[in-house]
Chain A
Amino acid sequence: MTTVPQTHLERRYAALGLLLIAPTVLVFCVVIVYPLISAVYLSLFSIFTPTLQGEWVGLSNYQALLSTGEFWTSLGNNVIWTVGTLVLQIVFGVAMALVLHENLWFRALARSLILFPYFVSTVVAVLVWKWLFNDLYGILNHLMIVAGLIEFPLDHLGSMPNAMISVIIVGAWKYFPFVVIAVLARLQTIPEQLYEAARIDGAGPFARFWDITLPQLREVLVVIVLLRAIWDFKEFDLIFLLTGGGPIIGTQTLPLLVYKEAFALNRMGMAAAYAVVMMALMLAFMLIYIRQTRRRES
């Protein structure tokens, strides 16, 4: 791809191109690249957050981290949360996209209503769900009792495994619209002839979904799963606001652990080590996603 600029004009264009990208590169270096490098550097120190004074400890933060149970518990929680909420998002998102692709009454309105949770602030979403979950006056307990599902009000956020289930459900509610929109856009490009041909061959609705829709969606689903996996894995706001990682550390994921180490336990260096390890874990997924995109572009 890279051709060496030859003519005078081409060289001038290349210079202009560099000039236009310069602000981006400058900002990137100051607020992203430099902090990223110093995050790794910080993780080699022991730093007391209120004073920001610290001393070099080498790799001992990493040594401590790998030998504490809390890291492994948080990693486990992180995986449970990510897989749980991702599966719900995908299943529910694809199903909803199929429904919205049909000729539904007031389809535009239905689409707006479905889209809204994704754009609403996590703070708003969490406040509303906390009110729904309220053990004494929450509508959810009331409806569940009326429906005969439970006999006594449930503690949705203060006990395990309820807290994890609640967090996963709220996460699915908040983020499944992303799947809906992405899948819907792809559905609209599947040629209608494919379905007609299948119908002539006598394929029922289920066979049509399995043999036509799903293979056509495969590529976009891979992209969605990767993106959502990355984003769900690093989710902080939703879990922090909903349960704060509790009860005890029942729903504490790695991002919450980083925050706790840095600003509750005042161990900034240790927190940086957790953050670096977390990023290293995510790196595999990020690289796969980038490679995928690269392949599609070329």
Chain B
Amino acid sequence: MRFVRRIFFNLAAWAVVLAVAFPLFWMIVTSVKPQFELFRRPPTFLPDTFTLEHYARLLIDTAFLVYFKNSVILATTTTVIVVAIATLGAYSLVRFRYRGRENLAFLVLFTYLLPSVVLLLPLYLMLVRVGLSNTIASLVVAYTTFALPYALWLLRSFMAGIPEDLESAALVDGASRLGAFWDVILPQLLPGIISTALFTFILSWNEYLYALVLVNSDSARPLTTGVVNMLVSAFNIEWSLLMAASVMMSVPLIVVFAFLQSYLTRGFGAGAVKG
């Protein structure tokens, strides 16, 4: 009786899991169907004819690769800058005592919750004024506004998890403060840094609003606005092409999921919820 109940529970649970995952399955299926098969009724759940023509067209006939390159540059630059600044900042916030430190920590949390639409307009004015609009650099600046508070908050909680004794021991052995940071803290913090970098990268990779407002030329456009722009400009929407673009856009994410998922879960625990 228990066995039957277990089977029943598993089947029901997996039915729900598969229903949740269905849109993603459908994205992949649609991307490898030939155009005419999309309009068949009833729809085919697995493609009758398998084709990669949409992927080929996407890479050859559209600006997809330019957008992809822009997104890689943008997300990587943002991640490197933000994680570097945030690692130093988090170290300072957790391990040093000075006036205003607590308040600063909560200013970070405050900005972490701040809506982007509030910063959007002044940032737009500022970037137009300094002549940075329509460049990838302008997006790096804008992405810092949400990525830096996020990374700081995450790293701060990772840093707090490193036992203070380790650092003290190194100091007793005659290491300087920065020497101890380099030799003792940084290796301990590495998993946290990787986790934070992954989150920052994904956040920047997926960002849409700033890219929509700040960049208006194909040469600097990242994937998010680039792909949507292809959708808008097309006379009739080519769904299989868009689904192929969606799959390709998710490739970095799929790589992270396949190899580095434990870092994502760790970041989850450290960031928002444990506080």
Chain A interface (Cβ < 8 Å from any Cβ of B): 1-3, 5, 10, 13-14, 16-18, 20-21, 23-25, 27-28, 31-32, 34-36, 38-39, 42, 52, 96, 99, 102, 104-105, 110, 112-117, 119-125, 127-129, 131-132, 134, 137, 139, 142, 146, 173, 178, 181-182, 185-186, 220, 223-224, 227, 230, 233-234, 236-237, 240-241, 254-255, 258-259, 262-263, 268, 271-272, 275-276, 278-279, 282, 286, 289-290, 292-294, 296-297
Bound together, the chains give a CA A16 to CA B95 distance in angstroms of: 11
Contacts A2-B102, A34-B122, A131-B27 supplied; 7 other A-B pairs, CB < 8 Å: A17-B97, A35-B145, A115-B257, A131-B242, A178-B268, A272-B121, A275-B117
- For A182, what are the chain B residues with a Cβ–Cβ distance below 8 Å? 268, 272-273
Contact between chains at A173 and B119 (CB < 8 Å): no
Interface 0/1 of B248-275, CB less than 8 Å to A: 0110010011000100110011001101
Instruction: Count A-B pairs with CB separation below 8 Å.
Output: 272
How large, as a class, is the contact surface on chain B?
A: 35 or more
Bound together, the chains give a CA A297 to CA B231 distance in angstroms of: 47
Given A20-B92, A32-B111, answer yes or no on A271-B10 (Cβ-Cβ < 8 Å): no
- Tell me which of B120, B142, B257 has the highest count of chain A C-beta atoms within 10 A of its own C-beta: B120
Give which listed residue, B38, B113, B177, B261, contacts A137 with CB less than 8 A. B38
Contact between chains at A35 and B119 (CB < 8 Å): yes
* Closest beta carbon of chain A to B212's beta carbon, Å: 8
Q: B12-20, B57-65, B186-194: which one contacts chain A? A: B12-20
Bound together, the chains give a CA A196 to CA B69 distance in angstroms of: 56
4 smallest CB-CB distances across A and B, nearest first, come from A17-B96, A234-B115, A24-B89, A35-B122
- For A113, what are the chain B residues with a Cβ–Cβ distance below 8 Å? 17-18, 20-21
Contact between chains at A128 and B243 (CB < 8 Å): yes
User: Taking CB as reference atom, which chain A residue is nearest B145?
Assistant: A31
Contacting A at CB under 8 A, from B201-237, are 202, 205-206, 208-209, 213, 223-224, 227-228, 231
* Closest beta carbon of chain A to B205's beta carbon, Å: 7
- For A224, what are the chain B residues with a Cβ–Cβ distance below 8 Å? 273
Bound together, the chains give a CA A74 to CA B240 distance in angstroms of: 34
Interface 0/1 of B62-106, CB less than 8 Å to A: 000000000000000000000001101101110111110110101
Q: Does B196 contact A (CB under 8 A)?
A: no
Interface 0/1 of B119-144, CB less than 8 Å to A: 11111111010000000000001101
Given A14-B96, A119-B202, A182-B273, answer yes or no on A31-B144 (Cβ-Cβ < 8 Å): yes
Contact between chains at B213 and A263 (CB < 8 Å): yes
- For A24, what are the chain B residues with a Cβ–Cβ distance below 8 Å? 85-86, 88-89, 92, 148, 152
- For A99, what are the chain B residues with a Cβ–Cβ distance below 8 Å? 13, 16
Bound together, the chains give a CA A116 to CA B122 distance in angstroms of: 34
Bound together, the chains give a CA A215 to CA B121 distance in angstroms of: 43
Q: Does B41 contact A (CB under 8 A)?
A: yes
A-B pairs with beta carbons under 8 Å apart, 28 shown: A2-B101, A16-B96, A17-B101, A20-B88, A20-B89, A24-B85, A25-B104, A32-B145, A32-B149, A36-B119, A38-B126, A39-B122, A42-B122, A102-B9, A115-B257, A117-B23, A120-B253, A127-B231, A128-B23, A128-B26, A182-B273, A237-B209, A254-B117, A268-B121, A278-B117, A286-B114, A290-B109, A292-B275
- For A178, what are the chain B residues with a Cβ–Cβ distance below 8 Å? 268, 272
Contact between chains at B242 and A27 (CB < 8 Å): no
User: Taking CB as reference atom, which chain A residue is nearest B181?
Assistant: A20
Q: Does B107 contact A (CB under 8 A)?
A: yes
* Closest beta carbon of chain B to A11's beta carbon, Å: 10
- For B264, what are the chain A residues with a Cβ–Cβ distance below 8 Å? 115, 119
Contact between chains at A185 and B92 (CB < 8 Å): no
Given A34-B122, A142-B42, A258-B117, answer yes or no on A236-B209 (Cβ-Cβ < 8 Å): yes
Contact between chains at A36 and B26 (CB < 8 Å): no
Contact between chains at B228 and A241 (CB < 8 Å): yes
Give which listed residue, B10, B24, B121, contacts A39 with CB less than 8 A. B121
Given A23-B85, A32-B145, answer yes or no on A120-B250 (Cβ-Cβ < 8 Å): yes
Q: Does B43 contact A (CB under 8 A)?
A: yes
